[in-house]
Amino acid sequence: MRVDPDLWPLTTRVDVEGRLCVGGVALNEIADQYGTPAYILDEADFRYRIRRYRAALPGVRITYAGKALLTKRVARWVADEGLGLDVCSPGELATGLAAGVDPRSIVVHGNAKTTGELRAAADAGVGRIVIDCGTEIALLASQLRSPQEVLIRVAPGIDIHGHAAVTTGIVDQKFGFAVAEGQAALAVRRVLDQPLLRLAGLHCHLGSQVTDPAPYGEAIRRMVSLMADVRNHYGVVLTELNIGGGHGVPYVTGDAELDLEKLARVIDDALDQACATERFPRPKVAVEPGRAIAARAGVTCYRVVSVKHRPGGRTFVAVDGGMGDNPRVALYGARYTVTVANRHPLGPTQTVTVVGRNCEAGDVVANDVQLPADLHPGDLLAVACTGAYHHSMASTFNMVGRPPVVAVHDGRVRELVRRETTADLLLRDLG
């Protein structure tokens, strides 16, 4: 199957010439107009994922994790579709505000927020600030002029057995307060002692690329038990429970994905059970998907620059992008799906390694992919599932400017972020 619907954007089609089209536009035309590499974003897919969430989890508050992919236009799609916005830096906050997102729908994260960042968030009137450490409690309180609703981030001690870089629910990692030794309870006490801090509830985030819904049920049971402890010790009934994001998506055919209907049942069952056991009123649950909304909307286009057959070994297809626009292969050993996008891939195929243009041997775009044996310089390649953590994680390694983000919808093309030029990069170099 050339275009597996589980991996490619909702509107992906192949036209009579064999060209891959997204949002009613041939990728080859976008590549001609905007150059390569380029990130293409299917607005319909992005909105569709949000609607799937709203339909599957009707009683749950949904906040989009902007760190997956954020531009002003993307923030507006999120707000249009009725979701809140998670941010974790002044830049992300500014993007949401510049897009006109209602600050009350913004949740501010981060394990090392500075005084200035906390003040900026509070002054902007954000809906929630998630407190990650003891220092932040007094620091935030000292910056406030009016009451601020906050959540306390807890590490519930749940291991998703994912990549270490994206496993955040265990105790031995940097985020949040541990439940053991009363650390989380003490944080609650200290927040309650600050008259301008309004403790709305608790937060946890287990990690990323989670495809089994069961850990979310376990998180709810542990967190409700902690909420009951807080009530028993301090007489305060917390009403909000944010269980984070991390919902997994497929990158290659056959990969698992988190089933939203199953997640909805797990959340419901865990709430029923935990609230009955603890005789605790049902809290309002919130989730924060990033990848699961943005990933499949995105496709990255590259031009083939060279094809190199190693004697008795691998075939390397070098393209004009690489780890600068996609660091995920180098960071996590991520796998990707690649297809030729400018023509019918007729004839025999070969197994190749698609590599980038950066000066590092680890600069791989995709390992072990099947591409036409007659692939040649000038062919256009499209890589699926690159909407999340690509634009947002891109670097300028080797002084290569970052690609544009181009949105497509109903045959229309709109450049959301322009290409970064060498002149842009030199502008920062003060000589």
Active site amino acids: 359
According to DSSP, the β-strands at 20-22 and 380-384 are: unpaired
65 touching ligand PLP, by CB under 6 A:
yes
Which residues are within 8 A (CB) of 261 and not within 5 positions of it... i.e. 6 or more apart? 56
Q: Which stretch, 43-51, 245-253, 321-329, 414-422, contacts ligand PLP (CB under 6 A)?
A: 245-253
Contact status: 169 vs ligand PLP (CB under 6 A)? no
When binding is defined by CB under 6 A, the residue of 176, 246, 327, 404 that contacts ligand PLP is 246
Cβ atoms of residues 126 and 108 within 8 Å: yes
* Candidate list 205, 296, 357, 390; residue touching ligand PLP; CB under 6 A: 205
Residue 74 touches ligand PLP, criterion: CB under 6 A: no
User: 96 vs 245, which CB is nearer to ligand PLP?
Assistant: 245
Q: What kind and span of H or E run contains 159?
A: none
Question: Tokens 């917390």 belong to which residue?
Answer: 238
Rounded least distance, CB 351 to ligand PLP, Å: 30
Coarse DSSP helix, strand, coil percentages of the chain, rounded to the nearest 5 percent: 35, 25, 40
Nearer to ligand PLP, 47 or 357 (CB): 47
Nearer to ligand PLP, 153 or 409 (CB): 153
The residue length of the chain stands at 431
Q: Does 156 bind ligand PLP (CB under 6 A)?
A: no
State the number of binding residues for ligand PLP (CB under 6 A): 17
For residues 240 and 288, which CB has a smaller minimum distance to ligand PLP in the complex? 288
What is the smallest separation between the CB atom of 306 and ligand PLP, expressed in angstroms? 34
Structure-block tokens of residue 397: 């390694």
From 176, 289, 322, 372, residue interacting with ligand PLP (rule: CB under 6 A): 289
Q: Which of 66, 162, 250, 290 binds ligand PLP (CB under 6 A)?
A: 290
The encoded tokens of residue 239 equal 């009403």
In the list 113, 291, 357, 402, the residue contacting ligand PLP (rule: CB under 6 A) is 291
Say how far apart CA 43 and CA 76 lie, in whole Å: 11
Residue number with the smallest Cβ distance to ligand PLP: 290
State the Cα–Cα distance between residues 63 and 101, nearest whole angstrom. 12
Q: What is the DSSP string of 80-141?
A: HTT-EEEE-SHHHHHHHHHTT--GGGEEE--SS--HHHHHHHHHHT-SEEEE-SHHHHHHHH
Of the candidates 80, 89, 210, 198, the one whose C-alpha atom is nearest the C-alpha of residue 149 is 198
- Using CB under 6 A as the binding rule, the residues of this chain from 86 to 145 that contact ligand PLP are 86, 109
**Given 128, 222, 247, 303, the residue binding ligand PLP (CB under 6 A):** 247
- Residues near ligand PLP (CB under 6 A) are 65, 67-68, 86, 109, 205, 208, 244-247, 288-292, 388
